[in-house]
Amino acid sequence: MTTRAGFIALIGEPNAGKSTLLNRMVGAKVSIVTHKVQTTRARIRGVAMEGESQLVFVDTPGLFKPRRRLDRAMVAAAWGGAADADVVVLLVEAHRGITEGVERILEGLGEIGQGRKVALAINKIDKVQAEELLGLTKKLNDAYDFAETFLISAERGHGVEDLRHWLAQEVPEGPWLYPEDQIADLPMRMIAAEMTREKLTLRLHQELPYQLTVETENWEERKDGSAKIDQVIYVVRDGHKGIVLGKRGETIKAVSQAARAELEEFLDRKVHLFLQVKVRPNWLEEAERYSEMGLDFKDGNA
């Protein structure tokens, strides 16, 4: 029995469907999925088993043109994840085609694609006609020498099995990197914080979510098998605190209920979740906040 194991980096523009694909591959929700862009901040690793192969997915932040320190750290993390991987999968949205962002990624692949297989996954195929899809496939393969091309719908699951099967054959031979029943190597505290941040992102005004972060400050295992989780939501301005709390605390209450329900489902036990909102005007410039998110503060330097 030959076992295989390797790291697979999912790269692409924000909203290309990387988190949805990761969750579909792993069969559990390990990466937050929202309709807002740039929601994945850390390189979340999800682990999937396919036959005798262990596939360790690195879900990188979306690649985009960075403007702020946090943006730069996220983009550095994305390229770092791709450069460290055994196999890279580039996700491109079928209906958006070759955007300026995709062109930039193709250029970047020229540098990090050497010595590793790069597959193309055209996602959201249900949004375009077959002829358009064929044209896009040809253009992308003319622009870069992809090892294989997959036409998928990460949301509906179409084509995902073929991609997983191919990846299982491409990762190197060797012992498994994680216990068979482990689906993510992120600490549970961080997964819990991400779940709360997802609920905030879905609930709040478009501009606000990128200026807040959530940290799990305390995690207490109780004798009855339940968990008490204390989290802090950091915002940069007093005005933002009011938005997060909402009228008569309605917003924070709704976010807390939604996050708790998802945590209970994920952990399969009762959860007592307590949220606090604190103003930290400079959290975007604090090294400690970056390490909490699994990002390198130094990578944010201009």
pLDDT recorded at residue 236: 85
pLDDT confidence of residue 37: 45
> What is the model's pLDDT at position 281?
83
3-state class of 88 per DSSP? Answer: strand
Q: What is the pLDDT of residues 212-261, one digit of tens each?
A: 888 888 888 888 988 899 999 998 888 888 889 988 999 999 999 999 99
136 compared with 236, residue with greater pLDDT: 136
Pick the CATH number of 188-300 from 3.30.300.20, 3.90.1640.10, 2.10.10.90, 3.40.190.10: 3.30.300.20
- What type of residue sits at position 20? T
Smallest CA-to-CA distance from 41 within 81, 3, 90 is with 81
Please tell me which residue, 226 or 206, carries the higher pLDDT value: 226
Provide mean pLDDT across the span 15-21.
85
Domain borders along the chain are 4-170, 188-300
Question: Would you tell me which CATH number, out of the four given (3.40.50.11810, 3.40.50.300, 3.40.50.720, 1.10.260.40), belongs to the domain 4-170?
Answer: 3.40.50.300
Q: Residue 123's pLDDT band (boundaries 50, 70, 90)? A: very high
Please check the confidence at residue 142 and state whether its pLDDT lies above 50.
yes
Is 50 exceeded by the pLDDT of residue 34?
Answer: no
- CB burial of 288-302 (b: ≥16 within 10 Å; e: otherwise) equals ebbebbbbebebbee
pLDDT digits (tens, 9 = 90+) for 46-90: 788 888 998 888 766 655 565 667 666 666 666 566 667 889 899
Tokens of 20: 């949805």
Q: Any idea what DSSP says for residue 173? A: B
Model pLDDT, residue 9: 86
How large is the C-alpha radius of gyration of the chain? Answer: 20
- Which of 239, 269, 233, 265 lies closest to 252 in space, CA to CA? 233
232 Cβ contact partners less than 8 Å away, ≥ 6 residues apart: 214, 215, 217, 275, 276, 277, 278
Lowest mean pLDDT among 91-100, 218-227, 293-302: 293-302
Query: What number of other Cβ atoms are within 10 A of residue 138's Cβ?
Result: 11
3-state secondary structure of 31: coil
